[in-house]
Chains A and B, each alone.
Chain A
Amino acid sequence: MHIPDGFLTPPVWATLDFAGLASVSLLARKARAEVDESRIPLLGVMGAFVFAAQMINFPVGLGTSGHLVGGALLAFILGPAAAAMVMTAILAIQALVFQDGGILALGPNVLNMAFAGVFAGYLPVHFLGGRSRRAALFAGAFLSVMVSALMALSELLISGVRMPAGALWISLALFAVSALLEGVITVAAVEAIGRLQPSWVKSRGGGMRAPALAIIALTAVFLASVGITFASASPDGLEKLIERAGPAGRNLFAAPLAEYQWQGLGGEWMGKAAAGVLGVGFVFVLCIGFARLARSKK
């Protein structure tokens, strides 16, 4: 889900743009050290491939169709750090050339899809290694889309975009469906690639253990932020939040950011945040446990 400009309030996009830019430079430095420059064309071409792959429609019945998003697939092909860079480049081109996603919203979109999405998509593959590739890919793709969508949704809610309970549930259901679809498409794509080039697919996954620690840490940070935002998105908590931020909201750009946050958010909110983090963590563990179970059966 690409957030356009005009949806997020200044404190939200400003914070996330800053966070996005900082993580991009950090990760670029890391990736630069890891990625040989002769591999840069591969990264660019893989980005173009994901772009073009999005033009291929997968029919899912009832006259509707979906297409690949690609975060988990890229992570599987290139490893998470490079994949996050490629996804960032994709989002930048989408924002500039296709006006898909805003310019001020680029930081948030990068955090949601290129970072959280790619790293979440990679974790199951990392933990399961090459052995139960299907389960890992499916879980990765599902998580990738789900985590990105949840983050985007929470950012909108924090910005005060109204979402009555009904609309919220409908969007959540839609997200779940597209996440499932992403899982199915990603698995189908990798299996089809495996039929064309068996040796190539076998050599993926597993591996890449060393940078993984940092990556897991990063993911944890992002999951925490998902949790926090998600917690504050629980409808009544949000109503209050908007009420309190409302009067201040008019002059948000002038008001210092920190002040806004600490004024608006009380102690009760912290408890909800913790619950949110726990909840998302729980879902994550569940997914990985599920995938492991699938492996042991094979």
Chain B
Amino acid sequence: MTPVIRAANLTFSYDDGTRALDGVSFELYPGECVALLGANGSGKTTFALHLNGLLTGEGEIEVCGMELSKENLPPIRRKIGMVFQDSDEQLFMPTVLEDVMFGPLNMGLTPDQAGARARTALERVGMAGLEAKAPYHLSAGQKRRVAVAGVLAMNPEILVLDEPTTYLDPPAERDLAVLLRELPQAKILISHDMPFVRALASRAVFFERGRIVAEGCVNEIVERFGWDLQL
């Protein structure tokens, strides 16, 4: 099977000299869900931002057979749906519907088509009926679901979720897990929430100071690094 994402030897430093990635290689296969584990500041978010060219360092990235380059950016960004850690940054349009339509409109759909897609996506995340709401009026769980809808409306082949459970209460977290499990896309899941990771991910990689230091099934990695709350 060919991987949908193949990254080789990624290296990146921020402007201030912080080396955030130091030779990361990674592959993601169709339909699987891989968890990225590791301490705060170990480079997980930086890595995710490389996958659709929001940051560019050294190394190679291939998404669905396309090499990451300036010309390929639009199709690659269509293939990868990215849900960011901070929903407030992701929901920037004045109403829920307009926000979910933002991606489809950028893909060149007409307002009618984009509206239809947006409604379908909102229905899928259980947010139908809240189209006219302002993001300000949503709860954290609702915001996260709208953010997911905004990504689903673009029909991506890969989902990247960066700490999707922050600020969620247990029921909202459970709802999100149920929703994500139903989605057929390949997923990269960055999370510190082990029950959530266990429920979704089949494989895990472990980041340490900008490197992937281990890879394996979730339980194995969690045990090896003591990555669970055990008192």
Contact = CB atoms under 8 A, between A and B. Distances in A.
User: Do these two chains really belong together in a complex?
Assistant: yes
Interface of A: 41, 199
Per DSSP, chain B at the interface is: loop
Nearest to B89: A41
Nearest to B17: A199
A199 B18 CA distance: 14
A273 B190 CA distance: 67
Contacts of A199: 15-16
B167 interface: no
A199 B92 CA distance: 28
3 contacts: A41-B92, A199-B15, A199-B16
B151 to A, nearest CB: 18
A41 B88 CA distance: 13
A146 to B, nearest CB: 36
Contacts of A41: 92
Contacts of B15: 199
Interface in B47-78: none
Chain A interface main SS type: helix
A199 B17 CA distance: 12
Nearest to B16: A199
A41 B102 CA distance: 14
Contacts of B16: 199
A199 B15 CA distance: 9
B99 to A, nearest CB: 13
Contacts of B92: 41
Interface in B1-42: 15-16
A236 B92 CA distance: 54
B47 to A, nearest CB: 23
A107 B15 CA distance: 42
A240 B46 CA distance: 69
A134 B15 CA distance: 25
Nearest to A41: B92
The 3 closest A-B pairs by CB, nearest first: A41-B92, A199-B16, A199-B15
A41 B92 CA distance: 9
Nearest to A197: B16
A172 B16 CA distance: 46
A229 to B, nearest CB: 38
B128 to A, nearest CB: 28
A161 B135 CA distance: 44
A36 to B, nearest CB: 16
Nearest to A44: B92
Interface in B92-119: 92
A41 B91 CA distance: 12
B52 to A, nearest CB: 15
A199 B16 CA distance: 8
Interface in B156-211: none
A24 B16 CA distance: 38
A262 B159 CA distance: 69
B105 to A, nearest CB: 14
A259 B112 CA distance: 53
Nearest to A199: B16
B86 to A, nearest CB: 13
A183 to B, nearest CB: 30
Nearest to A198: B16
A98 B163 CA distance: 36
Nearest to B15: A199
A41 B15 CA distance: 21
A197 B15 CA distance: 12
A49 to B, nearest CB: 14
B175 to A, nearest CB: 29
A48 B17 CA distance: 30
A74 B91 CA distance: 25
A1 B158 CA distance: 53
A170 to B, nearest CB: 42
A105 B68 CA distance: 52
A227 B101 CA distance: 50
B174 to A, nearest CB: 33
Interface string B111-138: 0000000000000000000000000000
B11 to A, nearest CB: 21
A242 B154 CA distance: 65
B1 to A, nearest CB: 37
A40 to B, nearest CB: 10
A199 B14 CA distance: 13
B48 to A, nearest CB: 20
A111 B15 CA distance: 39
A171 B138 CA distance: 45
A6 B92 CA distance: 36
A115 to B, nearest CB: 27
A276 B16 CA distance: 50
